[in-house]
A = this chain, B = another copy of it.
Amino acid sequence: MRVGFLGLGAMGAGMAKRLMASGHELSVWNRSPAPAEALRREGARCLLDPQDAFQNEVVVSMLADDRAARAVILESGALERAAPGAMHIVCSTISVDLAKELIEAHGVAGVGYVAAPVLGRPDVAAAGELNILAAGADDAVARAQPVLDAIGKKIWLIGKEPYKANLAKLAINFMLAAAIETMGEAFTLAHRHGVDVETLRDVITNTLFAAPAYKVYAPVIAARTFEPAGFKLPLGLKDVRLALAAGEEAGVPLPFASVLRDNFIDALGHGDGEKDWSAIADVAWRRAGLT
């Protein structure tokens, strides 16, 4: 299939390569040209203007945040000039508000729309092992299926209104951040009482918490090696902020998310902006007087 692809960060680049490896014909665009150039050498066509991507049957976008998604999708006028019958798979983690605006805008422009945020870090994306949270009208999801199959190992249908996949993604990222904070507090408590943190990590990740969320982050937190970043701390703050905004919109207090937000800000103020988001675990460490 001819697929336009917008946004070639670490996640997007991995997903684009998976699409090419599955035989799809890619036209790619990225704000800075280097990542697109790299894909060109592997056979992709480079686009100078993101709206050209919408001349394909299917467009996949994996843009960094609301601002980028709004600029590239809505403010560019791309939807109005899209090829008849085009459809758009939005994989970005965006706000519920923007997700609802996108539903409206795609409807007006007559462009098919599926929200398909993904679970997994760049290495998982490159391996085609992502879990995909998909939401959209039945026929739109059906049309998106071959593309999603190439990107991920499993597609979870969240609902018929696309924004629901975005909400689910925010809820899950909040859960990940909460697991990180939980380990930060528990490991600091253990350490301060002379319990070996590696021992505690070993117990939890092989018993009650033997799941990827903990198996990925517990070793990082136990060893306090937050670089290189798999997912940078400011992006974590962004996602928690979006979860809080979604809570505010729906009348749901989220006290854990409020603690997380405070701790992300604390971490940023202590110079951890380039570190992995799991560095918020260091806030507990630091507040306990450890260095």
Contacts and interface: CB of A to CB of B under 8 A. Distances in A.
Interface of A: 96, 119, 131, 133, 154, 156-159, 161, 163-164, 167-168, 170-172, 174-176, 178-179, 181-183, 185-190, 192-196, 199-200, 202-204, 207-214, 237, 241, 243-244, 246-248, 250-259, 261-263, 265-266, 268-271, 284, 287-289
Tallying the copies of this chain within the complex gives 4
Contacts of A156: 199, 202-203, 207
Given A207-B131, A269-B287, A253 B262 contact: yes
Given A171-B190, A255-B262, 18 more contacts: A156-B203, A159-B194, A164-B193, A168-B195, A175-B183, A178-B182, A182-B256, A185-B252, A185-B255, A189-B243, A193-B250, A208-B211, A248-B261, A252-B284, A253-B263, A253-B265, A259-B259, A266-B287
A194 B161 contact: yes
A195 B158 CA distance: 7
5 contacts: A171-B200, A175-B204, A189-B250, A192-B252, A251-B289
Contacts of A193: 96, 163-164, 167, 246, 250
Nearest to A195: B164
Contacts of A261: 244, 248, 258
A256 B177 CA distance: 12
Contact of A212 (B133, B158, B207): B207
A216 to B, nearest CB: 8
B270 A289 contact: yes
The 5 closest A-B pairs by CB, nearest first: A251-B269, A211-B211, A258-B258, A192-B250, A269-B289
Contacts of A213: 208-209, 211
